[in-house]
């Protein structure tokens, strides 16, 4: 079952945008896939992938196949 994170959180791009070569990870940070618009926690503890498969996470770590297609977002509960 997929959860639409946008129903739970408001997301704001991190400014200035971090380098794709060094994406930050933190409990408040999320990665938005620019291909499919999926949002994944930067420190995902459950197994998850975005719709196109660019982002995948598990065990407290999230990776991107193509980091240049990732926007780092800060999430705040609504």
Token pair recorded at residue 5: 């994170």
Q: Identify the pLDDT of residue 1.
A: 52
Q: How far is it, in rounded angstroms, from Cα 11 to Cα 1?
A: 21
Q: Identify the pLDDT of residue 2.
A: 67
Lateral strand order in the sheet of 55-58: 48-49, 55-58, 61-64
Average pLDDT, the chain: 94
Average pLDDT on 1-17 reads: 89
Q: Express each pLDDT in 50-62 by its tens digit.
A: 999 999 999 999 9
Query: Cα-flanking dihedrals φ and ψ of residue 45, to 5°?
Result: -100, -10
Average pLDDT on 13-29 reads: 95
């Amino acid at each position: 079952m997929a959860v639409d994170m946008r129903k739970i959180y408001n997301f704001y791009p991190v400014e200035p945008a971090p380098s794709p070569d060094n994406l930050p990870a933190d409990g408040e940070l999320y990665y938005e896939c620019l291909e499919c618009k999926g949002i994944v926690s930067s420190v995902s503890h459950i197994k998850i992938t975005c719709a196109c498969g660019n982002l995948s996470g598990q065990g407290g770590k999230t990776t991107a196949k193509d980091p240049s297609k990732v926007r780092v977002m800060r999430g705040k509960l609504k």
